[in-house]
Amino acid sequence: MNEKKRNAILAAVASVSTAVCGATAISYAVTRMMLSFAIDRKDPPQFEKRRDAMAGSGKLRQIFAEQRENSEKLASLPHETVEIEGFDGVRLIGHYFRVDDAKRTVVAFHGWRSAWSRDFSMIYDFWFKNGCNVLFVEQRGQKGSSGEYMGFGLLERFDCQGWVNYLTARNDTVTPLYLAGVSMGAATVLMASGLNLPDCVHGILADCGFTSPYAIWKYVSEKNLHLPFTGFRAKVASDICRRKLNNSDSRYSAEDALRFCRVPVLFAHGAADKFVPVTMTYQNYLACASEKRLLIVPGADHGMSYLVERERYEKEVLDFFAYCDGRAPAPAPLPEETPEENPPAVEPIKTKPGKRAKGKKKKAPYDAKQTDEA
C-alpha cells in the first residue's frame, strides 16, 4: 500500500472516530441533562411556563384555574406543620389536617415537581367530609422538604415508612391508616407496600403510578422526546442515578414491592394518560399479591381521573374504605420471603409499632369485584 493511500485511510478513520466521539459526547450531554431535569431539586426556569402551556383547551384551562384556587384554599386552612428526619438525615415536612369524628387517617404523597396542595386540591374536601384525617407529605427534594434529589420512589418509599412510624407514635392518630399517592406519589406508596409496615395500615390508593424509574424514563424519552433509551444512554442514566441516589434505576420497582404486599390496593388510572401509560398500572395490578381493585377512567389524562368521573371515583374510594376499615391484617410474610428493605444509606427511623386493628366479620375477597370499564 502506497503512502498516499495509507494516509487517505487514516484520515477517513480519524474522521469517523471524531464523528463517533462527537455523537457520543452529545448523547452523554443530552442524557445528563435529561436525568438532571428528572431528579435534581432545582426546577428549570421554563418548567412552570410549560406546565401552563399544557392546559391547552378552554376546558382544561378552567380546570387548572379551579385547581389553583382550591390549592390556595387548602393551604390556608388551619393545620399542623410537622417534621421528621429521613433515613439519611433529610428534613421532611408534612401538613397534618384533623377533622371532627375522624374514622381513619390518610397519608398523601404528591407527584413529580408538584406540590401537596396542588395535587390534592380537588379531592381534599371529599376526604375531609368522609371522616379522614389527612397528612399531606412534601416529598424529598421538593418545596419545603430538604434533599438535593428526587428518588422516583427508590428513596421515598423509606420516607413513607418513616411517616407511618411517626403517626403510629402519636397518641392522637386515628387508625386505620391509608397510603395514597398520585403519579410519583403513587409509585412511592406502591414501592412502600413491600416494606414491613405496621398492622394499622389497612390499604393503599394509587392513582396513575409508574412501575419503575427506568421504565418511566424510557417511556418519556422514547415516546415524548423521541430519543432511544437503550445501550449507551441507558447506561449513562443508570450511572448518574447510582451516583446521585446511591441506588440503581432498575434495582427496585413497584412490581417488586407488590409481590409482597399484604394490604388491599385500589389502582386508578386514566385511559388517555400521555405521561404515565395506563399499561403500567395494569402491570402493577397483575404483580400485586394482595386483594386489589382496578379503576380505569376512559378519556382521563394524567392525574385527571377524579375530575373526569368524580362520582364514580368517590364511590370506589368509599367502597374501598368500607371494606378495609375493619379488615384484619394479612399474615406477615416469612422472613425468607421478605425483600431487601434496607435503605441505601442508614437505617430508617424507628418508633413504637402501631396497634393491631380489631378484625370484623370476614368479607368476600376485595378483588372479586372489577371496575375496569376502559
Q: Please write the tens of the pLDDT for every residue from 144-174.
A: 998 888 888 999 999 999 999 999 999 999 9
pLDDT of residue 328: 73
- Which has more pLDDT, 14 or 220? 220
Please tell me the number of Cα atoms within 13 Å of 67 on its side-chain side. 19
**Is 168 inside a domain boundary?**
yes
- Which has more pLDDT, 218 or 166? 166
Q: How far apart are CA 64 and CA 59, in angstroms?
A: 9
Asked if 97 and 136 touch (Cβ cutoff 8 Å), the reply is yes
pLDDT exceeds cutoff 50 at 60: yes
**Is 246 inside a domain boundary?**
no
pLDDT of residue 143: 87
Give which of 233, 182, 235, 236 is closest to 210, Cα–Cα.
182
- Which has more pLDDT, 2 or 192? 192
- State the CB neighbour count (10 A cutoff) for residue 360: 10
pLDDT of residue 14: 42
**Is 17 inside a domain boundary?**
no
pLDDT of residue 280: 98
**Is 236 inside a domain boundary?**
no
**Is 116 inside a domain boundary?**
yes
Contacts of 32-38 with C-beta under 8 Å, sequence gap 24+, read: 32/236, 32/240, 34/217, 34/221, 34/225, 34/227, 34/237, 35/217, 35/236, 35/237, 35/240, 35/241, 38/150, 38/152, 38/217
- State the CB neighbour count (10 A cutoff) for residue 235: 11
**Is 124 inside a domain boundary?**
yes
Q: What is the mean pLDDT of the chain?
A: 81
Averaging pLDDT over each range in 18-22, 94-98, 225-229, 323-327, which range is the top one? 94-98
pLDDT of residue 252: 84
**Containing structural domain, residue 153:** 63-225+251-327
pLDDT of residue 254: 96
pLDDT of residue 3: 63
Please tell me the number of Cα atoms within 13 Å of 241 on its side-chain side. 25
- Which has more pLDDT, 231 or 309? 309
| 200-215 tens-digit pLDDT | 999 999 999 999 988 8
| 23 backbone dihedrals φ, ψ, rounded to 5° | -65, -40
**Is 130 inside a domain boundary?**
yes
CATH number at residue 171: 3.40.50.1820
Going by DSSP bridges, is the β-strand pair 177-182/80-85 parallel, antiparallel, or unpaired? unpaired
Cell numbers standing for residue 135: 397528612
Q: How far apart are CA 108 and CA 120, in angstroms?
A: 8
**Is 5 inside a domain boundary?**
no
Cell numbers standing for residue 282: 395494569
| 1-52 tens-digit pLDDT | 566 655 554 444 444 343 333 444 555 566 666 667 677 887 765 555 555 5
Look at the chain and report how many structural domains it folds into: 1
Tell me what percent of the residues of the chain surpass a pLDDT of 90. Answer: 55
pTM over 0.85: no
